[in-house]
Amino acid sequence: MTTEESRPPLPPFTAETAIAKVRKAEDAWNTRDPERVAAAYTVDSRWRNRAEFPVGRQEIQEFLTRKWARELDYRLIKELWTFGGNRIAVRFAYEWHDDAGNWYRSYGNENWEFDEHGLMQRRFASINDLPIKESERKYHWPQGPRPADHPGLSELGL
C-alpha cells in the first residue's frame, strides 16, 4: 500500500486520533475538491447521503461534483460525537446558498467505518436543510478550511 492509499490516523481510534480524523475530513470537504475528498474513501466505499447511494470513488467524486455545483459558498463544521474501534460518529452543520441566493444551514450526523489503512469504507449520512436569512449565517471565514480559532458547533450553539 502506498502513502497515498493510507490515511492516518489509523484505527483503532483514541479520543485524540478520532478528533484529528474528524478535523482532517472537515478540512478536506471545505476545499470542495471532489477528487481530493473521494481519495479518502476505499475504492468500493458505500455511502448513504439523503436519497443517494454512491458506491466507489468514481461515484463519490461525481456526487460531490454535483453537490458543490448546487451548494454554493459551502462552509462546513464537523464535531466528534463518539468513536470506538474503527468507527466514528460525527455531527455537522454546513452553510450554503443556491443559485437564486437562498441561504441554508444543513444539519446532520454521519456514521463512518474505516479499513485498516484509515480509508473510509462506509459513510451513512442523515441531513436536514433549514432555510436561513443571510444575516443569520454563522460561518464567515474565507473559502477553504475553517481557521483554527473559529468556533466549532458547540461553541456556536449548534
Per-residue pLDDT tens for 8-63?
Answer: 999 999 999 999 999 999 999 999 999 999 999 999 999 999 999 999 999 999 99
Report pLDDT for 4. 57
For residue 21, how many other CB atoms are within 10 A of its CB?
A: 26
Which conformational region is residue 118 in: left (phi greater than 0), alpha (psi within -120 to 50 degrees), or beta?
A: left
State the number of CA atoms in the 13 A half-sphere of 33 facing the CB. Answer: 13
Residues 49 and 108 sit within 8 Å (Cβ to Cβ): no
Domain ranges in the chain are: 3-136
Between CA 45 and CA 119 the distance in angstroms is 9
For residue 3, name the pLDDT band (cuts at 50, 70, 90).
very low
**Structural fold of domain 3-136:** Nuclear Transport Factor 2; Chain: A, (3.10.450)
pLDDT per position as a tens digit, 65-93: 999 999 999 999 999 999 999 999 999 99
Q: Is the pTM of this model over 0.85?
A: yes
Can you read off the three cell numbers belonging to residue 64?
460531490
Q: Find, among 135, 139, 77, the residue nearest to 101 by Cα.
A: 135
Residue 1 has pLDDT above 80, yes or no: no
pLDDT per position as a tens digit, 99-131: 999 999 999 999 999 999 999 999 999 999 999
Chain centroid, CA 115 distance in Å: 18
Q: Indicate the SS3 state at residue 128.
A: strand
